[in-house]
């Protein structure tokens, strides 16, 4: 039961703040980038009809551009396609003087970057970014230039070119500070912090968020939006660091600003962070209050993706309090609104909510059924994300090729300018030779990068395989645990428990490979230490004090198959020692030694217990037969002896060992 509930709680907490949060932060970054224009729109009294009317009535180009930009901003998040149309029209209208025209076109190009990201056109966003930077630098307008740099930072961070993203974001902070536009400096600092969150370097991100907070306080800024965005970012970093009291503290600081209804998305996100932290360290009453406040904002402003998660939190909280009607009511609302939301993980959220509710009310068959559905939906989601990451990688690769082509063309142009001044066959031949050498170097470099990318992709796929095998083994272990808890037969219970321990030893191998940079070898000492500690914890009888000593070289590595066989052998031998060696004594010790030999390894397992019985028969025990079979698979030999306790020695080889 504990395994099932722990699994449900894990999915409930991680899904929201890994996939969903990064997408939320990208949306918040876009909101921050266009916030000044959103505020300007909010302050205008003109409706859509009046803006269209004003545009149709004027023949002055500068006013046309003004109204076209206003219409484009009006539609930016509600109808991006319409917004794109008006930004393009404004870009096609030329006004005088020239510098002002360049500034307007740069502003429109910058806005098109944001439109393209909203529409999911990453390649076009990059093209508009380059155009915006060219126009803004030509306009000599520092404010427009800083905005272009900030857009560039966003583009580069979305395509995971973080060094360039950081460089451009820092440039925009410097310009805004020099202009005394501290509200825009805050905007740039938050985006800079968001880039470090993606890396992820949370301490560095927190440093920039704190700088933004200090600027807000020092300059007595009255715009609630900046408080919301800054405290949301700080709270998120503390949530990632599992500092839940700090999450609640910053969410409480921001709570007065959530009531202004300035930005329902940010307000909902803050309350969701608070509610999720309260799930970890607060009371159910506090959790329900925070979730209820969040759902009210969502219901009033049709923020469906957050509404779903607040309903799910309330369903779990009411289920924990054994309030069945309320729990099932909010679980049904979670399912209903998930269908109409744009959440990518909505099926996972719904299934996990039902699994949690059923588990709290003791219906473990239904709970397990929904947990399995959540697992399947999550696996499908991960596959989709891998495909999306591959697409992003392709875009990055193509962009990198274009950048190298541009650099190459620039080099050729410089060489051509040199040849115009220097005439001579010797210099010409030298330039041709240099060109061939450069092309050869480029081909080698591209081949090396392609090989590196291929190897990295293979490592990712191998890690994913190990992760899935480990998860499947954990599901089998959970099933055995549930069967074990329901059984009243002591013999059956002991057999099920032994089977579960054997499966855990295999799952641990795959988990180690998943967490390691080396996806085909196991560091044996670390694996044995983790495995033996788990076996002792599960099998040490009450009142007994059993010590453990492990001696092995840190550098010993074994292949996957060999590690699984060694793990199963150790599971049987240590379990037997715990059960039988110390029946007549309270204190004891078990030692595990592994030594590299000329043609393999020598494994010894020894205890200081009562030793082997006089009529010891290896064939009557399933566990010992398993030990002999595993040793045979390793081309090894097993020997049992009495030596101040039981001594088992196994010599084996591993052709893939390092």
Give yes or no for residue 154 having a pLDDT over 80. Answer: yes
Provide the whole-model pTM: 0.51
C-alpha torsion sign, points 37, 40, 46, 47 = positive
Query: In whole angstroms, what is the distance from residue 516 CA to residue 57 CA?
Result: 67
| pLDDT reported for residue 175 | 92
Query: In whole angstroms, what is the distance from residue 228 CA to residue 263 CA?
Result: 8
Question: Which residues are 591's β-sheet partners?
Answer: 549, 606
* CB-CB contact of 604 with 577 (8 Å): no
| DSSP secondary structure, 163-185, as one string | HHHHHHHHHHHHHHHHHT-HHHH
Higher pLDDT, 100 or 628: 628
- Work out the mean pLDDT of the chain and round it to a whole number: 75
- For residue 120, report the phi and psi dihedrals to the nearest 5 degrees: 80, 25
Continuous segment of H or E residues that includes residue 651? strand 646-652
The token pair that represents 256 in the structure block:
């007065």
| pLDDT reported for residue 166 | 93
Rounded to whole angstroms, the maximal C-alpha distance in the chain is 109
Query: In whole angstroms, what is the distance from residue 196 CA to residue 163 CA?
Result: 10
Continuous segment of H or E residues that includes residue 328? helix 324-340
pLDDT in tens, 401-435: 555 555 555 555 555 655 555 555 756 666 666 66
Query: In whole angstroms, what is the distance from residue 247 CA to residue 240 CA?
Result: 10
Count other C-beta atoms under 10 Å from residue 294's C-beta. Answer: 28
**Domain ranges across the chain:** 443-519, 522-652
pLDDT in tens, 507-554: 665 665 556 556 567 777 887 888 888 788 778 887 788 888 888 887
Give yes or no for residue 98 having a pLDDT over 80. Answer: no
Q: Which of 37, 74, 42, 36 lies closest to 55 in space, CA to CA?
A: 74
Confidence of residue 11 (pLDDT cuts 50, 70, 90): very low
From the number of C-beta atoms within 10 Å of its C-beta (0-12, 13-18, 19+), residue 584 rates as exposed
Return the DSSP state at 620.
G
Query: In whole angstroms, what is the distance from residue 56 CA to residue 48 CA?
Result: 13
Return the DSSP state at 58.
-
Q: Which of 286, 183, 277 lies closest to 230 in space, CA to CA?
A: 183
pLDDT in tens, 383-400: 766 555 555 445 444 555
Range scoring the smallest mean pLDDT among 140-144, 210-214, 276-280, 459-463: 459-463
| DSSP secondary structure, 543-579, as one string | T-EEEEEEE--TT-EEEHHHHHHHHHHHHHHHHHIII
Give yes or no for residue 174 having a pLDDT over 90. Answer: yes
Architecture of the domain made up of 522-652: 2-Layer Sandwich (3.30)
Continuous segment of H or E residues that includes residue 637? strand 637-642
Helix (H, G, I), strand (E, B) or coil at 289: helix
Query: In whole angstroms, what is the distance from residue 222 CA to residue 241 CA?
Result: 30
Helix (H, G, I), strand (E, B) or coil at 220: coil
The token pair that represents 220 in the structure block:
């007595």
* CB-CB contact of 565 with 633 (8 Å): yes
Return the DSSP state at 605.
E
| pLDDT reported for residue 208 | 92
Continuous segment of H or E residues that includes residue 120? none
Query: In whole angstroms, what is the distance from residue 188 CA to residue 170 CA?
Result: 8
The token pair that represents 236 in the structure block:
């998120």
| pLDDT reported for residue 93 | 65
Query: In whole angstroms, what is the distance from residue 267 CA to residue 261 CA?
Result: 8
Confidence of residue 178 (pLDDT cuts 50, 70, 90): very high
pLDDT in tens, 327-357: 899 989 888 887 776 666 778 888 888 988 8
* CB proximity list for 567: less than 8 A, separation 6 or greater: 505, 506, 508, 509, 527, 531
């Amino acid at each position: 039961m504990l395994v099932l509930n722990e699994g449900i709680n894990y999915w409930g907490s991680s899904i929201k703040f890994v996939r969903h949060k990064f997408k939320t932060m990208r949306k918040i970054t876009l909101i921050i980038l266009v916030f000044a224009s959103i505020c300007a729109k909010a302050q205008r009294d003109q409706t859509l009809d009046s803006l269209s009317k004003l545009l149709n009535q004027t023949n002055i180009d500068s006013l046309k551009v003004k109204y076209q930009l206003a219409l484009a901003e009006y539609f930016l998040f509600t109808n991006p396609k319409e917004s794109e149309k008006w930004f393009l029209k404004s870009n096609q209208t030329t006004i005088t003087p020239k510098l002002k025209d360049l500034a307007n076109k740069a502003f429109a190009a910058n806005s098109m970057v944001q439109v393209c990201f909203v529409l999911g056109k990453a390649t076009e966003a990059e093209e508009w970014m380059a155009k915006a930077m060219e126009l803004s630098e030509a306009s000599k307008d520092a404010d427009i230039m800083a905005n272009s740099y900030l857009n560039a930072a966003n583009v580069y961070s979305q395509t995971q070119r973080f060094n360039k993203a950081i460089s451009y974001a820092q440039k925009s902070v410097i310009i805004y500070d020099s202009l005394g536009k501290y509200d825009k400096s805050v905007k740039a600092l938050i985006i800079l912090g968001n880039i470090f969150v993606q890396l992820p370097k949370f301490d560095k991100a927190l440093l920039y968020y704190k700088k933004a907070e200090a600027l807000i306080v020092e300059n007595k800024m009255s715009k609630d939006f900046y408080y919301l965005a800054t405290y949301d970012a700080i709270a998120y970093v503390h949530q990632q660091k599992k500092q839940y009291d700090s999450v609640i503290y910053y969410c409480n600081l921001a709570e007065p600003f959530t009531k202004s209804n300035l930005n329902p998305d940010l307000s909902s996100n803050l309350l969701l962070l608070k509610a999720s932290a309260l799930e970890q360290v607060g009371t159910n009453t506090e959790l329900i209050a925070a979730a209820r406040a969040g759902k009210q904002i969502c219901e009033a402003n049709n923020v469906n993706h957050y509404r779903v998660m607040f309903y799910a939190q309330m369903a779990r909280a009411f289920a924990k309090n054994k309030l069945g009607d309320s729990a099932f009511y909010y679980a049904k609302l979670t399912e209903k609104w998930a269908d109409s939301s744009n959440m990518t993980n909505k099926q996972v959220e719904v299934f996990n909510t039902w699994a949690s509710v059923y588990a709290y009310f003791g219906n473990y068959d239904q709970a397990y059924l929904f947990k399995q559905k959540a697992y399947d939906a999550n696996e499908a989601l991960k596959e989709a994300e891998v495909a999306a990451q591959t697409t992003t990688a392709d875009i990055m690769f193509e962009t990198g090729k274009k950048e190298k082509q541009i650099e190459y063309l620039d080099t050729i142009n410089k060489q051509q300018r040199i040849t115009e001044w220097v005439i001579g066959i010797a210099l010409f031949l030298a330039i041709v030779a240099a060109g061939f050498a450069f092309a050869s170097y480029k081909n080698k470099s591209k081949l090396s990068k392609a090989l590196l990318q291929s190897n990295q992709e293979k490592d990712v796929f191998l890690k994913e395989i190990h992760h899935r095998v480990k998860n499947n083994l954990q599901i089998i272990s959970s099933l055995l645990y549930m069967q074990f808890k329901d059984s009243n037969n002591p013999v059956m219970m002991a057999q099920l428990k032994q089977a579960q321990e054997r499966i855990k030893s295999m799952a641990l191998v795959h988990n180690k490979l998943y967490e390691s940079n080396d996806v085909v070898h196991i560091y044996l000492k670390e694996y044995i230490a983790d495995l033996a500690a788990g076996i002792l914890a599960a099998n040490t009888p009450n009142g007994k004090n059993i010590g453990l000593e492990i001696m092995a070289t840190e550098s010993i590595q074994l292949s996957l198959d060999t590690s699984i066989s060694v793990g199963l052998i150790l599971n049987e031998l240590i379990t037997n020692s715990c059960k039988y060696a110390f029946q007549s004594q309270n204190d004891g010790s078990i030692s595990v030694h592994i030594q590299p030999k000329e043609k393999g390894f020598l494994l010894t397992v020894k205890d200081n217990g009562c030793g082997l019985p006089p009529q010891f028969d290896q064939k009557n025990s399933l566990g010992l037969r398993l030990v002999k079979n595993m040793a045979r698979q390793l081309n090894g030999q097993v020997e049992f002896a009495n030596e101040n306790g039981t001594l088992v020695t196994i010599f084996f080889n591993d052709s893939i060992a390092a």
